[in-house]
Amino acid sequence: MSEAPAGSFRVGLLGHGTVGAAFHSLLEERTDAIEREVGLRPGVAGVLTRSRGDFADILERSDLVVELMGGTEPAREYVMRALGAGKHVVTANKQLLSQHGEELYGAAYENGVQLRFEAAVAGVVPAIRVMSETLAAAHIERVHGIVNGTTNFILTAMEETGASYEDALKQAQELGFAEADPSDDVSGKDAAAKMAILARLAFNAAVHLDEVPYEGIERLTAEDIAYAKDLGLSLKLIGTAERIDGGLAVSVHPAFLYGAHPLASVRGSFNAVTIESPAITEITLSGPGAGGPQTASAVLGDVVSAMIPPPTLPAPAEDLPLVQDVESAFYLHIEVADRPGVLAQVAEILGLQGVSIKSVVQKGLGEDARLAMVAHPVLESKFRAAVEMIERLDFVRTKPRVIRVIDETFE
Ligand SMILES: NC(=O)c1ccc[n+]([C@@H]2O[C@H](COP(=O)([O-])OP(=O)(O)OC[C@H]3O[C@@H](n4cnc5c(N)ncnc54)[C@H](OP(=O)(O)O)[C@@H]3O)[C@@H](O)[C@H]2O)c1
């Protein structure tokens, strides 16, 4: 192994794609400034891609490894080997952390090194740092996040232009906000991985991607959004992680928000995270959620932090049960025959399950009518039971549509 010059800090770079190449350029651009700030001069010790570099050789020559390859293998193996060799690791890989987090956090803990991952959730928005440092002593009750820029771009376009889901997706692809295969984004899976990571931090409890139920935006219609506007609501793909009855619920769903909720104004491809804790009420952080230079900036921030080791190590996870049936307000949209008594019958069934209606919009549609309503918070199982009963009524014309409503506004 060649001896590194005194005062140098060597970074092994795994992956040189969109983020890796942007990180490499930014590190070179900021080398002098970082040396002035930290007293060590960072430099790239070696680069690994599918066609160049040798991992073992790069590992040996590095003080810290930056993993920007993506995917779970061989990223997991390389990160484990780096941690095992006593090297700090910085990664932007949400798939890796949401599926193998406990193994990796454990290895970092045992080896007394840092595993940093600010860029894995919400790009450059410093949600990880704020949760693990600024709010380290706060009791976090709930985290809501718009953690996928592609879906927020699509929903914003549908809301602002009345476009269909298909047209808004096409527009996102043309402008580079959605990939040719957008499945992981629009299905909610990408957001679920990020919420598993945020939940681990917020509640110090192990949460695997497989334990996060998710629902995407593929089935939402321009009509849902138009009706919701009449009810004063705006539609987002929301990740939620919250404490409930001594347990923990983590999920991703489309949800309506009232205008005064801090996430309601997050538009286009931006990401945002709202953290609620009794001591602070709420904090909302927002900004660009992706992009090479933006993500690279978060990665470099982690590298600089790792150059000055903190005195503490991450604590092992607590064992909190995962709660499936959670209370929420709901939006319900039904097409019914336009005849007297229909609304009263729907209201009666809802009432039998303990569901009370907050607001209703009714519109005629030839011989039929459309009912769009918002119900006050109730257990999801009770609301779904009422909707199943309503679906069987002879005057109901189409399958009822149900979307969650987040009714906090923090005013
Ligand atoms: N793009 C964003 O805006 C963004 C935002 C936040 C987080 N992230 C995360 O950042 C990471 C990197 O994303 P990216 O968009 O930069 O990906 P990318 O453009 O596809 O680049 C991946 C890089 O990793 C290399 N690589 C992949 N598999 C490899 C293997 N088995 N062995 C060696 N090298 C391998 C590729 O090598 P070749 O060059 O030889 O193909 C390429 O250089 C991912 O975890 C992603 O989720 C990305």
Q: For the segment 42-76, what is each residue's pLDDT rounded down to a tens digit? A: 999 999 999 999 999 999 999 999 999 999 999 99
74 lines ligand 1 (CB under 6 A): yes
Q: What integer is the mean pLDDT of 161-168?
A: 95
Whether 395 and 362 have beta carbons less than 8 Å apart is answered as: no
Nearest CA to ligand 1 atom 37: 49
For residues 320 and 336, is the Cβ–Cβ distance under 8 A? Answer: no
77 pLDDT more than 90 = yes
17 Cβ inside 6 Å of ligand 1: yes
Those residues whose C-beta lies under 8 Å from the C-beta of residue 320, and which sit 6 or more positions away, are 203, 205, 243, 246, 247, 248
Say yes or no to pLDDT of 187 above 60.
yes
What residues act catalytically? 194
**What pLDDT was estimated at residue 315?**
61
Question: Angle CA(322)–CA(328)–CA(331) in degrees, nearest 5?
Answer: 135
Report the atom number in ligand 1 closest to the C-alpha of 49: 34
* 275 pLDDT higher than 90: yes
Q: What's the confidence (pLDDT) of residue 314?
A: 56
To test ligand 1's pocket by mutation, which of 14, 48, 49 has the most ligand atoms within 8 angstroms of CB?
49
pLDDT score, position 68: 98
> Is 80 exceeded by the pLDDT of residue 3?
no
Instruction: Tell whether the model's pLDDT for residue 310 goes beyond 70.
Output: no
pLDDT value of position 14: 98
Residue nearest (by alpha carbon) to ligand 1 atom 5: 290
pLDDT of residue 316: 64
To 10 degrees, what angle do helices 222-230 and 149-161 make?
70
CA nearest neighbour of 177 among 94, 270, 255: 270
Q: Is the CB of 149 under 6 A from ligand 1?
A: no
- CB of 209 sitting under 6 A from ligand 1: no
The token duo for 66 is 């930056």
Name the band, by pLDDT with cuts 50, 70 and 90, for residue 318.
confident
Mean pLDDT of 158-163: 94
What is the distance in A from the centroid of ligand 1 to the CA of 51? Answer: 13
Any atom of ligand 1 within 6 Å of the Cβ of 307: no
pLDDT at 229: 85
> Which of the four pLDDT bands, split at 50, 70 and 90, describes residue 228?
confident
> Which of 239, 327, 246 is CA-nearest to residue 289?
239
Antiparallel, parallel or unpaired: β 233-244 and 8-14: unpaired
Query: Within a 10 A sphere around the Cβ of 71, how many other Cβ atoms?
Result: 11
Residue 53 CA: which ligand 1 atom is closest? 33
